[in-house]
Amino acid sequence: MRKIDPEKQEVRRRHILDAALSCFAHKGFHGTSTNEICAAAGMSPGNLFHYFPNKRALIAAIAGEDRRRMTVRFARLADEDDAIAAIEALATELLEQSADPVYARISAEIAAEAMSNSDVGSLFAENEALIKADLAALLERGIGRGQIDPAIQPELAATWLIALADGAVGRALMDSDFKASTHAPVLLRMVRRFLEPPAG
């Protein structure tokens, strides 16, 4: 029996996901056929279905990858002494990500699909809840250290910081001139003024 190589399997899986992302960004979830994904990935339907039995499984995997990236980001920020600096770093990364047209289109596709597909809606809600909890914990840490305004309610503040990131995605989709480097200084100023304790 041939031995399965987990690394090769993961490379193949990643290759399929990249092909699917490109197709979904170009034609949307419903406008993309599995045959088009197979063509983009350079493989037969049988090979594709070995890794992902249907488009729903691909969408779930995309949501899982997004959550994994956010988990890595928050883990990296855990060692940052300054909570506001940590949130600014996160905001900068998310702004840069939002300016990527493929990411922006996929984010919009997932949000739209979440409203009509209960399975995707559950994945979307679960991701949002986990990100909100991680961000609220970061805000609470900053409040505990005297770095963030104690009058801020962490869960509400986390909701609005996420809304800023979501808004950047929408802006990137509607504004062809949208560039992260242009908007980053304004975003960081807004975040710092929102979070800093009042003077005196």
Specify the pLDDT at position 93. 93
User: Quick check: 3 pLDDT over 80?
Assistant: no
The most distant pair of C-alpha atoms in the chain lies apart, rounded to whole Å, by: 72
Residues 88, 37: Cα–Cα separation, whole Å: 37
- Which ranges in the chain are annotated with CATH 1.10.10.60? 1-53
1-53: in CATH 1.10.10.60:
yes
Specify the pLDDT at position 64. 86
**CATH number for region 60-195:** 1.10.357.10
For residues 64, 67, 72, 76, the Cα torsion angle rounded to the nearest 10 degrees is 180
**Between residues 94 and 2, which one has the greater pLDDT?**
94
63-67, 133-137, 183-187: which has the minimum mean pLDDT? 63-67
Which of 146, 168, 4, 47 has the alpha carbon at shortest distance from 98?
168
Region 75-93 average pLDDT: 92
Q: Which two tokens stand for residue 96?
A: 């840069």
Alpha carbon 7 to chain centroid, angstroms: 24
Q: Taking all residues of the chain, what is their mean pLDDT, rounded to a whole number?
A: 90
* % residues pLDDT > 90 (the chain): 52
* % residues pLDDT > 70 (the chain): 98
- Which ranges in the chain are annotated with CATH 1.10.357.10? 60-195
User: Quick check: 2 pLDDT over 60?
Assistant: no
User: Given pLDDT bands bounded at 50, 70 and 90, which one contains residue 4?
Assistant: low
Amino acid symbol at 59: I
User: Quick check: 113 pLDDT over 70?
Assistant: yes
